[in-house]
Amino acid sequence: MITIREDSESIKNWLKSLGFTERESQIIYFLMENGSSSVSEIVKGTGIARPHVYTTLKTLSLRGLVSKSQDRPAKYALSGIVGYLKERVSRQLEVNKRMLKVIETFLPKEQGVTRIHEERKSFLESLMYSLENSQIKFWTVIPYTYVIEELSVKRILSIRSKGIEVRVATSEVDLLKKFLEAPSFVRLIEPPPPFFLAIVDNRVFLSPIIRDKLTYGIESDEENVVKNFERYFNHIWSDDYIVTLNKLRMTTPKEY
């Protein structure tokens, strides 16, 4: 039998968020984990007093969520719970969407914020979180990969495999050689910029390179900031296409 014990509290809390009482959530969870059970087994497993177990089972039975067997002693099992939960989740989702629209009519449109990460660790944690949840694009300027080893070729390919538009501008010729074939989404830029840049969906990450290291960073989702960096990136992306081709010709050995 598959155990869900490690998620017990989160499941019970989730059930309560859908409108079940504390006792109902406990009994539903117990039956989920243990299957068909007698009242004595439920009392022992949940710690709920017998009279309250009977009352709660009756309530759940009237809602069509628990069925009772004809055995002696009688056994209780969940019935139709998945369909019921799906309906409640769907209904709650619609309520949430409606409430968000109501709130948006009362509050001014958010303009975005710019914040400074004083430490490299904080900057990278926020960047990696955004990459894991990205849905549209990942454009980046990486002068040399050693300044941010967290962005390995494997990670870049993993991001691209999700259908996200990936563009990598770099000054490191050897980076191209790490791919099985020359990728169209990597281009060479000269001279190497003194900063690391990433545009993830509608968010910008920028960090100056000091003594070959990222020391702190800036993160922004302000619309004008993002647009300015997108404009810069599009400029270097188009201008350095020929540079990339020429570099590849110069560094790729000829066959004899």
The domain that contains 21 carries what CATH number? 1.10.10.10
Q: Do 177 and 136 have their domain in common?
A: yes
* 54 in any annotated domain: yes
Q: What's the pLDDT at 255? A: 45
Is 103 inside any structural domain? no
Q: Which of 83, 104, 125 is the last residue of a domain?
A: 83
| Domain co-membership, 145 together with 246 | yes
Residues 193 and 133 in one domain: yes
**Which structural domain, as residue segments, surrounds residue 204?**
114-251
pLDDT at 2: 43
Q: Does residue 121 contact residue 146 with C-beta atoms inside 8 Å?
A: no
Instruction: Give the model's pLDDT for residue 244.
Output: 53
State whether 63 and 130 are in the same domain: no
The answer to whether residues 72 and 125 belong to one domain is no
Strand extents, DSSP E, the chain: 66-68, 76-78, 114-117, 137-142, 165-170, 186-188, 195-200, 203-210, 213-214, 217-220
Q: Are β-strands 137-142 and 66-68 bridged in parallel, bridged antiparallel, or unpaired?
A: unpaired
Confidence band of 54 (pLDDT split at 50, 70, 90): very high
Q: For residue 106, is pLDDT > 80?
A: no
Residue of higher predicted confidence among 43 and 180: 43
For residue 97, tell me if it sits in a domain.
no
Percent of the chain with pLDDT over 90: 50
Q: In the prediction, which pLDDT does 9 show?
A: 86
Q: Determine which of 52-56, 136-140, 201-205, 250-254 has the lowest per-residue pLDDT on average.
A: 250-254
Residues 6+ apart with CB under 8 A from 220: 112, 113, 114, 115, 203, 204, 206, 226
Mean pLDDT of the chain: 86
Residues 71 and 119 in one domain: no
Is 4's pLDDT higher than 70?
Answer: no
Q: Which range, of 100-104, 197-201, 237-241, averages the lowest pLDDT?
A: 237-241
Residue 197 to residues 94, 172, 215, Cα–Cα distance (Å): 38, 15, 13
pLDDT value at 248 more than 70: no
191 preceded by a cis bond (ω within 30 of 0) = yes
The stretch 110-134 carries a mean pLDDT of 90
Q: With a cut of 70, say whether residue 109 has pLDDT above it.
A: no
Q: Are 145 and 175 in contact (CB under 8 A)?
A: yes
* CA 250 to chain CA mean position, Å: 41
Q: Is the pLDDT score of 178 beyond 80?
A: no
Number of domains comprising the chain: 2
State the average pLDDT over residues 98-102.
82
Q: Is residue 256 part of a domain?
A: no
Tell me: the pLDDT tens digits for 136-177? 999 999 988 888 888 888 888 889 888 999 999 988 887 777
Question: With 50 as the cut, is the pLDDT of residue 256 above it?
Answer: no
3-state helix, strand, coil in the chain (%, to 5): 50, 20, 30
Q: Judge whether residue 254 has pLDDT over 80.
A: no
